[in-house]
Structure 1
Amino acid sequence: MIDVSAVSAWWTKCPPATGAAVMATGIVSVGLHLAGAETLSLIVLVLACVTWVALAAVFVVRLAGHRRRWAAEARSLGALTAVAATTVLGTQLSVLGRQTLAEALLALAALLWPVLLVLVVRHWEASRMPGAVFLCCVATQGLSVLAATLAAVQTTAWLARAALALFWLGLVLYGLALTRFDHRQVVEGAGDHWIAGGALAISALAGAKLLSADSARLYLWNDDGHGVLRTLTLALVTLDLAWCVVLVVAEVTHPRPRYDLRRWATVFPLGMTAAAMLSVADALGVDWLKGPGRVLVWVSVAAWLAAAAGAVLSARTGTDGEGTGTPGVTSRARR
């Protein structure tokens, strides 16, 4: 039987960063699809869609009836999970042939993206920011991935070129975020520090999608452009893997076993890295990436299960799932 009071409490307290759970669940579905586990991928996708609908309802209700709270949350770093989660679901739906739904989600994400991006970036601090600062890159590259995916299906050149522009903008935003990232978060962060690597992974995925979108009918990139995009995509995968090594070592040497809502932002980069490796392997013909990519898919599934178990336990014990108990604040850096 559904505990109405528990659902009401969740509805009231639900912070913007909860969107990371949809991002994580959606990308795990993508990874399972790429690994050939279709049935499991569809089950996980349904979970992601249900959660997305619930969070979208929270977003609309607060916009309509709690404007001050909505405005405050829209300025937080976690607000950009709304865009990223929407694009991840749209991409998977497009792959499954649901182009109308994917187009609708692209339109929605494109409307939200400039508003939330401006609000968030205007309230950046000069330095010592948590890993969620990289969501500016993730949200932008998510749009690029979805736009490139639809461009390939519809053979639409302007959409592919828009995706390319977003790809380059995403890399610029990554560089800006890196200058503000508090590198101590690697050993102190509660989970969202992993987005530093995940942002590179989704950038690599965007590069792979752009390369796959090209065809004799569209002729998007000349030989020089194709070469630059190929080299950059491989470099992004390499940098992402380097970040993963650093982050794993930090987790081993400075373990943080306590559940935190931001742990969903750890699952997302793992799943995104797996998806990027498998997509880059197909788009660029780098077959050796397939083996590690498939292994990482199941690692991300295990991480998702751990995060889900932590969330259920946190709900049962009545804790808020955040280290400080205050949405929007970490011990040393603003979220």
Structure 2
Amino acid sequence: MHYPSSALGGLSPAYFGMVMATGVVSIGAWRLGLPKLAWGMFGLNLGIYFLLWLLYVARLVRYPRLFASDLTDHLRGPGFFTMVAASSILGSQCLLLADNVRGSLVLWLVAIVLWLALTYSVFAAFTIKESKPTLDRGINGGWLLAVVATQSIAVLSALLAAHADQPFKLELNFFALSMWLWGGMLYIWMMSLIFYRYTFFPFHPSDLSPPYWINMGAMAISTLAGSLLSINAVDAPFLLSLRPFIKGFTIFYWATGTWWIPMLVVLGVWRYIYKRFPLRYDPLYWGAVFPLGMYATSTFEMANAMGFGFLGLLPNLFFGIALVAWAGTFVGLLHRLIKLVAGRSAWPP
């Protein structure tokens, strides 16, 4: 498929990752006692979210065939799941920062509709399409955005359950638990294929795209959802009976995500220092900022839910790293926009 050089035509399906990254850094700032930073990023995130919706709708109207082609492409299609996660994370911001239950509920419904539409269109298209890429050319860490999208709905459902009365509290907690379990199963399926691709096919620096950090980010948001379910168990008898299972799997998710961090750092050093791959702005880098912020937030929540005070240093450390990464990526975006307006650069597809 030929991509036009216009900014609209070349808009990445994964650009809602910017909302995900900004939202999780904002929530992290709120949890760690930085309300001014949290509110500032919340306001920015609202503007980004609605602007991106305008751009995506305009792209669908202006380039419908291109939009449909992206939706069924093995590498670009999973990027649309950022729309689900962005809606859920923004809904979580509305609930935590503004205590706006109605706004959170609207975004929760938007996320569910998008999740249903994308899950059963993208993966159905991958199944029935006649021309398919080989495994090494058709899968990367971006596939795990489907896991992140699923777990983001589990997180928002658990947060809404804490604000709801019976019987909705019971139903929301059950729905959150179901999505949490489904997201975990989906991670096992996909990660098996990704790890197989890692170890049994040639690997080039260009193959190590930023979404590979979602390997860790998917586990981090699963940890957050499990921690919230563990906290909610106090008001949900059926969760109380499952609490040991929930806690065990939450620690399992956190440990798996933590294992990935040194591995991803080593691969990053190999890519940018040893292989000297150029470091320049790409919208996919928002997919690397999000896992760092989510790891900080999920570790903070797990430590509180389980009394792990010895983990207190990690949330602050990774929040600082996430904030620096967010600022660097945002500066890269501004630089790209300035060059685009000045006519010295074409928007990268």
Instruction: Please state which band the TM-score falls in when normalised by the shorter chain.
Output: 0.7 to 0.9
Paired with 2:91 and 2:204, the residues of 1 have a C-alpha distance of 31
Q: What is the CA-CA distance between 1:316 and the residue it aligns to?
A: 2.7
CA contact (8 A) 2:95 2:104 kept: yes
Q: Which residue matches 2:238?
A: 220
Q: State the one-letter code of the partner of 1:139.
A: A
Paired with 1:189 and 1:317, the residues of 2 have a C-alpha distance of 26
Equivalenced residue count is 314
Judging changes above 3 Å, is the alpha-carbon distance between structure 1 residues 251 and 187 closer, same or farther for their aligned structure 2 residues? farther
CA contact (8 A) 1:152 1:214 kept: no
Percent of residue pairs identical = 28
Output aligned runs, 1:16-165, within 5 Å.
Answer: 16-63=13-60, 66-75=63-72, 76-96=77-97, 97-124=99-126, 127-128=135-136, 129-155=139-165, 156-165=169-178
Paired with 2:36 and 2:82, the residues of 1 have a C-alpha distance of 26
Q: What is the CA-CA distance between 1:64 and the residue it aligns to?
A: 5.2
Paired with 1:119 and 1:112, the residues of 2 have a C-alpha distance of 10
Paired with 1:227 and 1:185, the residues of 2 have a C-alpha distance of 42
Output aligned runs, 1:285-300, within 5 Å.
Answer: 285-300=307-322
Paired with 2:346 and 2:118, the residues of 1 have a C-alpha distance of 25
Paired with 1:291 and 1:186, the residues of 2 have a C-alpha distance of 33
Q: State the one-letter code of the partner of 2:124.
A: R
Q: What is the CA-CA distance between 1:86 and the residue it aligns to?
A: 0.6
Q: C-alpha offsets along residues 212-265 of structure 1, whole Å, 9 cap, x if unaligned?
A: 22224x323244x10010011011111111101111122123215222221111
Q: What is the CA-CA distance between 1:130 and the residue it aligns to?
A: 1.4
CA contact (8 A) 2:233 2:240 kept: no
Q: C-alpha offsets along residues 293-322 of structure 1, whole Å, 9 cap, x if unaligned?
A: 11111110000011111112222334467x
CA contact (8 A) 1:186 1:193 kept: no
Q: C-alpha offsets along residues 106-137 of structure 1, whole Å, 9 cap, x if unaligned?
A: 00111110111122223446623111010110
Residues 1:202 and 2:221 are matched in the alignment = yes
Judging changes above 3 Å, is the alpha-carbon distance between structure 1 residues 50 and 121 closer, same or farther for their aligned structure 2 residues? same
Judging changes above 3 Å, is the alpha-carbon distance between structure 1 residues 259 and 289 closer, same or farther for their aligned structure 2 residues? same
Q: State the one-letter code of the partner of 1:86.
A: S
CA contact (8 A) 1:271 1:296 kept: yes
Q: What is the CA-CA distance between 1:9 and the residue it aligns to?
A: 5.0
Paired with 1:65 and 1:308, the residues of 2 have a C-alpha distance of 27
Q: Which residue matches 2:129?
A: none
Q: What is the CA-CA distance between 1:203 and the residue it aligns to?
A: 0.6
CA contact (8 A) 2:233 2:243 kept: no
Q: State the one-letter code of the partner of 1:220.
A: F
Output aligned runs, 1:261-300, within 5 Å.
Answer: 261-300=283-322
Q: What is the CA-CA distance between 1:48 and the residue it aligns to?
A: 1.2
Q: C-alpha offsets along residues 11-64 of structure 1, whole Å, 9 cap, x if unaligned?
A: 443221111111111111011111111110111111111110011122333455
> Which piece of structure 1 moves more, 62-71 or 302-311?
62-71
Judging changes above 3 Å, is the alpha-carbon distance between structure 1 residues 70 and 253 closer, same or farther for their aligned structure 2 residues? closer
CA contact (8 A) 1:152 1:212 kept: no
Paired with 1:300 and 1:164, the residues of 2 have a C-alpha distance of 28
Paired with 2:162 and 2:67, the residues of 1 have a C-alpha distance of 36
Q: What is the CA-CA distance between 1:103 and the residue it aligns to?
A: 0.3
- Residue aligned with 2:238, SS: coil
- Residue aligned with 2:15, SS: helix
Q: Which residue matches 1:3?
A: none
Residues 1:178 and 2:196 are matched in the alignment = no
Question: What's the Cα RMSD here?
Answer: 2.1
> Which piece of structure 1 moves more, 148-157 or 102-111?
148-157
Paired with 1:11 and 1:220, the residues of 2 have a C-alpha distance of 48
Paired with 1:170 and 1:136, the residues of 2 have a C-alpha distance of 8
Q: State the one-letter code of the partner of 1:287.
A: G
Q: Which residue matches 1:4?
A: none
Judging changes above 3 Å, is the alpha-carbon distance between structure 1 residues 186 and 172 closer, same or farther for their aligned structure 2 residues? farther
- Residue aligned with 1:159, SS: helix
CA contact (8 A) 2:158 2:225 kept: yes
Judging changes above 3 Å, is the alpha-carbon distance between structure 1 residues 9 and 67 closer, same or farther for their aligned structure 2 residues? closer
Paired with 2:304 and 2:328, the residues of 1 have a C-alpha distance of 30
Runs (5+) with no aligned partner, structure 2: 127-132
Paired with 1:150 and 1:284, the residues of 2 have a C-alpha distance of 21
Greater C-alpha Rg: 2
